[in-house]
A and B are shown apart, each in its own frame.
Chain A
């Protein structure tokens, strides 16, 4: 996580920062094989500043509403905390998911991990196999099938 940006450009307290990391890790933890990073490793604040600045104060409220225990809790308890948030305020949680997924699934390291190319699709493009048209043989064998009109 890029602490400098958070500390200097957006006034998160240490407590808020810790809660944020726990919350993000609860939403997208690292994969068990370590192949995929966790969302907590990525810089949500910098992302929001660049792309969804209106959500920043909302995020602060979410963090402040998480109780003190969330700081020291276990990952399972963080999961329960996130679950409670999703039940108590589904609309807010949905917006949080949107932003976290947007951050995560645009990250080049994540994209590499899932086997997708990073960067704009254009002009890179993609290769798609043309496919085996001999699969049409049984369809052709049935012959003309359109409905007569007279």
Chain B
């Protein structure tokens, strides 16, 4: 590994060590350039994850809470969700969101890149599914993805590992889908169903969304990062970037960051890559103001922080007579249905949604959730209701495509700051009429399939609040510098040595979990950079 003096300029400075930061670091490493990644959080030891303890369900509410405002780690930054019906959830540390993600790993569909041409809404992407196809495959191999080839809803693809077990939950729901003649398929999951690349296979612990003690879940701290570091990339943790600095030539010349002790440090770089996600990236760019960019760096278009897309989520839970063993197995990965994924205007809305079948929860969470929803009362009827639900439920998450809208934004909070004094992120988000109709349609269809599968009771939640998992669109890609922040290969239109590779560059969000596509994009951008090294800033 090349010696790097902290004061020496580096060739490439990546900010954020999550899903996309890890992928681009690994891919660029073979150039032998000096690459440094600054990450505000820590490495997480597998022994720290809740499932190492008997109190694993309680621990999920503590330092591994999905809500950064509740997690109480000083490596997090506050997020003001008061003007949004959906709250942002994330993780800040090596691996980023992949530490806590459910690892449901579908790709965007070919049609998702062409929504303007096909459906007359939003914009087409300047790249296509075919552009990303080789990078999807590369990423599946690097992460370790399990799934079943042959899904008729996709062009041919071959996951490297066989699917994870669908269990009785999957079988039961599959029978419901079959009764209705609807599509379903075993989920592509970034969870290894067999030993893979020195990692041992998934043990079906259950709560992937509080971290995986076994390492069966493919988070980037155990997939890309070890490889990238072996190849010479330096990863500095506990380094929180405040702003990107601009040189006299109008190019980014590095960053100012705070180290673990709160010391202000400067790092010079030839190329800066933002990988802080759809909230973290606009936050830092908006905070990088200069006379040349008074509204934030790379924001001549005024699009930075705008068009925020989540995937609004509704959920329906069915109760079954049969014991489905539902608290066992990866909670968020089982089977899915794309029956209502594509536009059918007779439904009253444009675009569509993915139905993600999820398993049940542990005993404490079942009881607590049952109390909160009124489905499991305290008192004399408690045991009967608990027994009816625990291990006897299957749920369907309805994950809707959210179209980009200018008024859905990430801005700097005027009052709140993180532990280094950097302004917090503020979310302003309104659920569109189109999304509302889609959610309603989704709940009705989910209830239909749950009953068809034999549920005796079904209860639904119209909109899940703590479901701001997918943070997209706030620095979107495009060919027109007036309406987009980065060009078709992630380079800022305004600052030619600044790249963005995370979810913020999505033009539209599709109706499914985005991380596979985020990482494929990062690999594609890395490859394009490598091909254009000689004239990267032209």
A interface vs B, CB < 8 Å? 26-29, 31-32, 36, 51, 79, 82, 97-98, 101-102, 104-106, 110-111, 114-116, 118-133, 135-136, 138-140, 142-147, 149
Contact = CB atoms under 8 A, between A and B. Distances in A.
B52 A147 contact: no
A125 B203 contact: yes
Chain B CB count within 10 A is highest, among A29, A121, A126, for A121
Contact of A131 (B52, B165, B363): B165
B368 interface: yes
Contact of B363 (A105, A136, A140): A105
Given A114-B387, A131-B166, A126 B382 contact: no
A122 B214 contact: yes
B154 interface: yes
5 contacts: A105-B364, A106-B58, A118-B54, A128-B329, A135-B174
A122 B168 CA distance: 22
Given A105-B57, A135-B178, A147 B383 contact: no
B2 interface: no
A122 B213 contact: yes
B152 A140 contact: yes
Contacts of B165: 128-131
B226 interface: no
Contacts, number: 166
Interface stretch (B110-118, B305-313, B427-435, B477-485): B110-118
Chain B CB count within 10 A is highest, among A36, A51, A110, A127, for A127
Given A29-B380, A126-B205, A139-B152, A111 B363 contact: yes
A26 B185 contact: no
B133 interface: no
Say whether chain A's binding surface is mostly helix, strand, loop, or mixed: loop
B195 interface: no
A61 to B, nearest CB: 20
Interface string B153-165: 1110000000101
Contact of A147 (B110, B128, B325, B371): B110
Given A79-B380, A105-B57, A116-B327, A133 B186 contact: yes
A124 to B, nearest CB: 8
Nearest to B168: A129
Contacts of B382: 27-29
Given A105-B57, A120-B51, A125-B214, A146 B205 contact: no
Contacts of A144: 152
